[in-house]
Amino acid sequence: MIQLFYSIVLVISLICAAVYSFMWHRHFDVNFTMIFTLVPIACLGYFLFSQSENLREAVAAVKIIYLGGCFLQLFIVLNIFGLCKIRIGKRLRTLLFGICLLLYLPVLNLGYGSSFYKSISFTVQNGNPLLLKEYGAAHTLIYAAFFVFFAVGISAVVYSWIRKKQVPRTVLGLLVFPYIICVLSFFLIRQIIPQIEFVPVGYVLAEIIFLIIAYRVNLYDVSDTVIDSMVREQGIGYVSFDFKNRYLGSNHTAQCILPELKDTALDERFGEKPAHQTIRQLLDRFRENPEQNTCLYPVPGAGSDDDRIYTAKVNYLYDSDRKRGYIITFTDDTANQKYIRLLDTYNEDLRQKVEDKTRHIVEMHDNLIMSLAMMVESRDNSTGGHIKRTSEGVRILIEEITRDQTLQLPEDFCRAVIKAAPMHDLGKINVDDAVLRKPGKFTEEEFAKMKHHTTEGARVIHEILRQTDDELFKTIAENVAHYHHERWDGSGYPAGLAGEKIPLEARIMAIADVYDALVSKRVYKEAFDFAKADRIIMEGMGSQFDPQLKEAYVHARPRLEAYYRNLNV
């Protein structure tokens, strides 16, 4: 009777494993596969034990039973963590596996040592094999590990239920059942019916529940299901290569786009075939600049109406978190490209007119801002030409920053900073003439009034650019006016900002502004020579100025000196 019971359990576990194999998907977590591998192994151990006729056979069966038991809890926990989107590092996973392996080693020594069973004997009762044993310390450790894994798994499920809204509630609810079933079968039912081990029944029921979870889990993996659907429905082709330009494979759609791929052997390097040349060009351009990873690839048809236009996009091929090569995807963009060409044909004149009008409006807007800045400058008898000089200084600094790649600055940011530079002192429009035009140094009270030109400048610019569509330029212009007198060490004004809390555009403006003040004549001082001005600027790196801009300034210094010398010629 017991033999029949364990036979049925083994058969059911194998059927579940077969079903899992049938529904297996390449995106399944490996922990799923390990569960469906270890459960039949454990059930096989129980079946073999029911067939054992002596102590040696019984001990061998126990070793198989614990092979599943020692490692099954680990992979259930790892599977729970994966389903709950809780990341576990590789080192921790390896450590946990090593602990389970150490727990299993005394089982392998069963029959030769006393660490797992202090004593063991074999008998048959009512036709059923029975092991009479006294548990050892190693067996106690396995029980302790079981409880730890149980607690960790349940805690992960509860935590995810409370904190992780993107983990499906259906899956979380199902994850609780395998543990409950295993615990009930291991501790409760065993006490009621001691003649039969119900643990394999718990394993099989848990296996069935994990089949349900496996069936559901792919539906929630949006990235994978969407990719599969797009490849199938939209006819997306893909070709992959390793970093040595060896062909790794392609799908049917890609082979229709590039027929030479059908005759290309896996691991074959590029040759002289047209398809190989096309791919080499795409990959070479991607290596030079990964941002330039997209282009159009026309495929002639039997007639003009059959011509197709594909968008070819190159990306890195990833294996988990590692880059292993390149993948090129081809997406049919024929309809969109024909529509674009149609629009280009009919709207070219309109587009040109709009561009001309827009350019004219922008020029008027820029001229208005520059005129306003020049008007402010005309009120300040100490800053004649200051606007143009500092604007040129900012442009030189920006070019050097871009050239030596001290900082990775977007082109639109650079253009906006150069364009905003003339506006940095607009706030002086609201400074009283008695202060602004004073022919000498300021008193503390006068200097306090002069400081207000920064906040006033930001306010004036905000009002002027209120209706602009260029939010980036608006923000940069306000920041340049507001914070160009802040210092890296936090002792500047008006807000006392320090370090990288000062907007980068204001940090760049500060160098150009101070440099011009040093090498230009003012009512309260003569112009400093270039060496003295350079010494002051360099001494200020890290206290007054951003030390990250030091290298760019050093490279810009010869151009700055040349520019100011030409002004004095």
Mean pLDDT of the chain: 81
Mean pLDDT throughout 524-550? 90
pLDDT band per the 50, 70, 90 thresholds, residue 457 = confident
Per residue in 299-348, pLDDT (tens digit) is: 876 665 667 888 888 888 887 667 888 888 888 877 777 777 766 666 66
- Say yes or no to pLDDT of 477 above 80: yes
> Which has the closest alpha carbon to 416: 459, 354, 500, 478?
478
pLDDT of residue 380: 62
pLDDT band per the 50, 70, 90 thresholds, residue 222 = very low
d(CA 388, CA 367): 14
d(CA 414, CA 430): 29
List of E strands, 251-406: 294-299, 308-319, 322-332
- Pick from 270-284, 375-389, 406-420, 441-455 the range whose average pLDDT is largest: 406-420
Mean pLDDT throughout 494-503? 93
pLDDT band per the 50, 70, 90 thresholds, residue 384 = low
pLDDT of residue 268: 80
pLDDT more than 90, % of the chain: 16
pLDDT of residue 504: 93
- Residue whose structure tokens are 């591998």: 37
CA atoms within 13 A on the CB side of 541: 13
- Say yes or no to pLDDT of 286 above 60: yes
Following DSSP, what letter does each residue of 470-510 receive, concatenated? -HHHHHHHHHHHHHTT--TTS--SSS---GGGS-HHHHHHH
pLDDT of residue 184: 65
- Say yes or no to pLDDT of 118 above 80: yes
pLDDT of residue 433: 67
pLDDT band per the 50, 70, 90 thresholds, residue 371 = low
- Say yes or no to pLDDT of 223 above 50: no
- Say yes or no to pLDDT of 558 above 90: yes
- Say yes or no to pLDDT of 272 above 90: no
pLDDT of residue 500: 92
* Lowest mean pLDDT, pick from 18-27, 107-116, 341-350, 558-567: 341-350
> Which has the closest alpha carbon to 417: 492, 496, 478?
478
- Say yes or no to pLDDT of 23 above 70: yes
pLDDT band per the 50, 70, 90 thresholds, residue 537 = very high
- Residue whose structure tokens are 């003339």: 422
- Residue whose structure tokens are 């503390």: 444
> Which has the closest alpha carbon to 368: 456, 435, 481, 468?
468
Do residues 204 and 72 make contact, with C-beta atoms less than 8 angstroms apart? Answer: no
Per residue in 68-102, pLDDT (tens digit) is: 888 888 888 888 888 888 888 888 889 989 998 99
d(CA 449, CA 436): 9
User: How buried is 163 (Cβ within 10 angstroms: 0-12 exposed, 13-18 middle, 19+ buried)?
Assistant: exposed
Q: Tell me, yes or no, if the pTM score tops 0.75.
A: no
Q: Which helix (H) or strand (E) holds 358?
A: helix 334-379
pLDDT more than 70, % of the chain: 81
pLDDT of residue 83: 80
Domains of the chain: 2-220 (1.20.1070), 234-332 (3.30.450.20), 355-568 (1.10.3210.10)
Q: Residue 502: what residue type?
A: I
pLDDT band per the 50, 70, 90 thresholds, residue 360 = low
Question: Could you tell me which residue, 248 or 548, shows the higher pLDDT?
Answer: 548
Determine phi and psi for 14, rounding to 5 degrees: -70, -35
- Give the contacts of 403 (CB within 8 A, at least 6 positions apart): 555
pLDDT of residue 507: 94
pLDDT band per the 50, 70, 90 thresholds, residue 257 = confident
> Which has the closest alpha carbon to 326: 287, 268, 271?
287
- Three-state DSSP at 545 gives strand
pLDDT of residue 168: 73
- What tokens does 185 get? 């079968």
Among left, alpha and beta (phi > 0; psi -120 to 50; other), residue 405 is left
pLDDT of residue 569: 44
